A and B are shown apart, each in its own frame.
Chain A
Amino acid sequence: MTGPKDLDQFVNDRKMVARPATVIVVEPQRGLMKIGFEEIFDFRELLFFLVWRDIKVRYKQTIIGVSWAILQPLLTMVVFTAVFGRLADLQGSGVPYAVFSLAGILPWTFFAQGFGQSSNSLVGSSHLITKVYFPRILIPTAAVLAGLVDLTISFLVLVGILAIFNIQLTLNALWLPVILVFIFVTTLAAGTWLSALNVRYRDVRYIVPFVVQIGMFVSPVIYSAQAMTAKLEAVGIPGWVYGLNPMVGVIESFRWTVLGAGEFPGSLVAVGGVVSLLGFFLGLVYFRQMERSFADVV
């Protein structure tokens, strides 16, 4: 039994134990808790594995697999173009409606999926939550991150469609990483709130599909934001109010980066960005506040 390997192991073990130990204190929480980014960072490998799992599982036992990530936005685009394409006032940028709508569908789909998946993620992972400890925020985060694969694939579709319509990517596209962070933070903000609420109130299960359905119509997916801000201004409401829905800024800025047409929707992005960041940080605080009771409630 005690070969050199075991001895090796033993020495290693000793080393491990001799390492300066971190002290963990467990006690009832008082007041507002800190978000604890360090701890989240410590568990980054688990985050990686959770994302990896979600991606792996996503298209298991489907016939056409990842093709769904191509077909879905493409078919939506075709339908939207057929139904809304003729309504001239829906957009004013001069790009073909197919491209215009696809550039809205992409960020919206990412949000809708990420939001839906993450808000159900905690309840769906109750077997983990009640059996093992890790920062629970990893669960909704992983659910949102896993959507990046679909987004990447559908982005390639968009690039293809752009090529077909002979539209070149401009330097605006360099902003894409920043916009991506914007989309991600917005989606995660919503997912953080709703997933934590879902643990206690299962009403969330009914709210989420509703928000996703209605949200598409109050976000500039099938029409341009200008069409809406113009209407608001006509009745005396400043246009930036529309930007309180952060997805307005998200979608408009995404369009601006990939289509390279029109002006950067500065005020909408600014308002949306503030809403998004505020929602995100408050959401994190709320989440960390609630997370200690998840195992008892879920």
Chain B
Amino acid sequence: MGSAREEVVIRAEGLGKRYQIGRSTAAYGTLRDTIADLAAAPIRALGRLRKARASSRQPRTIWALNDINLEVCQGEVLGVIGRNGAGKTTLLKILSRITEPSAGRVELRGRVGSLLEVGTGFHPELTGRENILLNGAILGMRRSEILRKFDEIVSFAEIGQFLDTPVKRYSSGMYVRLAFAVAAHLEPEILLIDEVLAVGDLAFQRRCLGKVGEAARGGRTVLFVSHNMAAVENLCTRCVLINGGQIVCDGSPTEVISAYVRSQEQQLKTGIDETARRSGSGRLVFTSFGVETIQGTAVPLVRSGEDVVLVFGYRKNGSAKVNNVDLGIAFYTEHGHPLTVLCSSYTGKTYSVDSTTGEFRCVIENLPLAAGRYVVGGRLLIGTEEADWPTDGVGLLEVERGDFFGTGHSGFDGHAPLLLDGHFLDLP
């Protein structure tokens, strides 16, 4: 920033994107939809959702992006942050011309390269060498450019002797590294990057981030969507916060990130309304729910495979100490489908509660939930007496793609919320 002749390379005016929701997918039944529908059928029977469903019969529209005005100058590295579904990816898709805006216009000066996913267009039957060429071309590199950088890409990916092996035989780590390596050598004037650095091992991630930084120093303009606040803070010269399809905050990364974290904390920590529907004697009740890292910092969202701490605030009504308190935790999908239940008593732990207010903490190692939003339920038992059970759960858990398997593979991308690690034995 701060150069005398700043040239605006991205100018968006009144940008909007409208999506039709409801009936659109029913038109052509794919197998996947059918299966998803079957799985959803029992839930639909729960009258609660029936109403929502009926209203979704008519096509409705939502504005995924609404009146976005944005100017980005050459050489800026703009971080784009916001919660899931805020419209970040939609913005990138419009800027990269994958989808067309419903309103407004964008002017882009220069060659645009987008990186919404690593390994776009990788063909499993083709070898590493062949996929480098193909993927490079798909990402918009010229043939001469790919050939010039070929050796660099190979050494960056560390795939050496597997260069001529079909990528379907690659380990997932190798696959991701190769995909990254090609992507990292993309050098358009404007580079749009979605949350692709979330996978891959840490060391490799760091090298990729380094590459992005290099690109920026080389005078390129970078738009960087990420949930990795540290990366945004380190790399970006400016940051915008998107919420509900609109830019709500624009400024220095430090400023915007702290605004974001504050808003998220508020959302998560306000916790449980006193008037929430709940059953139980009320001798001991939930007052809040939050998530922390293992180091004890409150976070707005977590990643699959992370060690997370669930924090349940409580209040004890009455002065007597209560013993034999059993904390039950349940995870539901956003649609209310139960996933699993964990009670502290299962693990052999019960609490004696003396102070009037406090927090229960439960550490979940290697969080086995796929990316998505989950409802966390909580139930407090004193012996066999139900003390508190908020019917609609105690809070939301927002999970981002992460490295559950430790291989960089983010797992099955679909409607399957639960991640399960297994040890596959060699053939005898």
Residues of chain A touching chain B, judged by Cβ–Cβ distance below 8 Å, are 9-10, 13-14, 16-17, 21-29, 45-46, 48-50, 52-53, 56-57, 60-61, 127-134, 200-202, 292-293, 295-296
> B219 and A13: CB pair below 8 A?
yes
Any A CB within 8 A of the CB of B98? yes
Please report the C-alpha to C-alpha distance between residue A21 and residue B220 in the assembled complex, in whole angstroms.
12
- Chain A contacts for B19, CB-based, 8 A: 296
Known contacts A16-B189, A60-B125; is-contact A127 B104 (Cβ 8 Å): no
> B187 and A16: CB pair below 8 A?
yes
Residue in A13, A27, A132 whose beta carbon sits within 8 Å of that of B98 in the complex: A132
Residue in B106, B111, B133 whose beta carbon sits within 8 Å of that of A26 in the complex: B106
Residue in A21, A49, A56 whose beta carbon sits within 8 Å of that of B137 in the complex: A49
> B101 and A23: CB pair below 8 A?
no
Q: Chain A contact residues: over half helix, strand or loop, or mixed?
A: helix
Taking CB as reference atom, which chain A residue is nearest B108? A24
> B137 and A46: CB pair below 8 A?
yes
> A28 and B125: CB pair below 8 A?
no
> A26 and B94: CB pair below 8 A?
yes
Q: Chain A nearest CB: distance from B235 CB in Å?
A: 17
Please report the C-alpha to C-alpha distance between residue A9 and residue B217 in the assembled complex, in whole angstroms.
11
Taking CB as reference atom, which chain B residue is nearest A6? B214
Please report the C-alpha to C-alpha distance between residue A23 and residue B106 in the assembled complex, in whole angstroms.
10
> A57 and B126: CB pair below 8 A?
yes
- Chain B contacts for A45, CB-based, 8 A: 137, 142-143
> A49 and B134: CB pair below 8 A?
yes
Any A CB within 8 A of the CB of B105? yes
- Chain B contacts for A296, CB-based, 8 A: 19, 99
Taking CB as reference atom, which chain B residue is nearest A129? B98
Q: How many residues of B contact A (CB 8 A)?
A: 50
Q: Chain A nearest CB: distance from B185 CB in Å?
A: 11
Residue in A24, A50, A128, A202 whose beta carbon sits within 8 Å of that of B97 in the complex: A24
Q: List 15 A-B contacts (CB under 8 A).
A: A10-B218, A13-B219, A16-B189, A21-B110, A24-B108, A24-B112, A26-B95, A27-B106, A45-B137, A48-B137, A49-B143, A53-B130, A131-B98, A132-B121, A200-B27
> A131 and B99: CB pair below 8 A?
no
Across chains A and B, which 7 residue pairs bring their CB atoms closest together, nearest first?
Answer: A27-B105, A13-B218, A202-B28, A49-B137, A292-B100, A133-B97, A26-B106
> A26 and B139: CB pair below 8 A?
no
> A29 and B100: CB pair below 8 A?
yes
> A21 and B109: CB pair below 8 A?
yes
Known contacts A13-B218, A25-B107; is-contact A133 B28 (Cβ 8 Å): no
Please report the C-alpha to C-alpha distance between residue A26 and residue B102 in the assembled complex, in whole angstroms.
10
Any A CB within 8 A of the CB of B311? no
> A127 and B120: CB pair below 8 A?
yes
Besides the known contacts A45-B137, A296-B19, 20 further A-B residue pairs in the complex with CB atoms under 8 A apart: A9-B218, A14-B218, A17-B189, A17-B218, A17-B220, A21-B110, A23-B109, A25-B105, A25-B106, A26-B100, A49-B133, A52-B134, A60-B166, A127-B120, A131-B117, A132-B96, A134-B140, A202-B29, A292-B99, A295-B98
Please report the C-alpha to C-alpha distance between residue A13 and residue B215 in the assembled complex, in whole angstroms.
9
- Please provide the chain B residues from 107 to 138 with a CB less than 8 Å away from any CB of chain A in the complex: 107-112, 114, 116-117, 120-121, 123, 125-126, 130, 133-134, 137-138
Taking CB as reference atom, which chain B residue is nearest A293? B100
Interface centre among B130, B134, B218 (most CB of A within 10 A): B218
Residue in A14, A22, A53 whose beta carbon sits within 8 Å of that of B126 in the complex: A53
> B102 and A28: CB pair below 8 A?
yes
> B28 and A201: CB pair below 8 A?
yes
Any A CB within 8 A of the CB of B93? yes
> B139 and A132: CB pair below 8 A?
yes
Residues of chain B touching chain A, judged by Cβ–Cβ distance below 8 Å, are 9, 19, 27-30, 74, 93-112, 114, 116-117, 120-121, 123, 125-126, 130, 133-134, 137-140, 142-143, 166, 187, 189, 218-220
Q: Chain B nearest CB: distance from A217 CB in Å?
A: 29
Please report the C-alpha to C-alpha distance between residue A26 and residue B139 in the assembled complex, in whole angstroms.
19
Please report the C-alpha to C-alpha distance between residue A254 and residue B155 in the assembled complex, in whole angstroms.
50
Residue in A10, A24, A56 whose beta carbon sits within 8 Å of that of B107 in the complex: A24
Taking CB as reference atom, which chain A residue is nearest B28? A202
Please report the C-alpha to C-alpha distance between residue A128 and residue B99 in the assembled complex, in whole angstroms.
12
Q: Chain B nearest CB: distance from A128 CB in Å?
A: 5
- Chain A contacts for B126, CB-based, 8 A: 53, 56-57
Please report the C-alpha to C-alpha distance between residue A27 and residue B95 in the assembled complex, in whole angstroms.
10
- Chain B contacts for A295, CB-based, 8 A: 93, 98-99
Please report the C-alpha to C-alpha distance between residue A52 and residue B126 in the assembled complex, in whole angstroms.
11
> B107 and A23: CB pair below 8 A?
yes
- Chain B contacts for A293, CB-based, 8 A: 99-100
> B108 and A26: CB pair below 8 A?
yes
Q: Chain A nearest CB: distance from B217 CB in Å?
A: 8
Please report the C-alpha to C-alpha distance between residue A282 and residue B134 in the assembled complex, in whole angstroms.
30
> A128 and B121: CB pair below 8 A?
yes
Q: Chain A nearest CB: distance from B193 CB in Å?
A: 12
- Chain B contacts for A16, CB-based, 8 A: 187, 189
Taking CB as reference atom, which chain B residue is nearest A132? B120
Please report the C-alpha to C-alpha distance between residue A239 and residue B19 in the assembled complex, in whole angstroms.
51
- Chain A contacts for B166, CB-based, 8 A: 60
Q: Chain B nearest CB: distance from A6 CB in Å?
A: 9
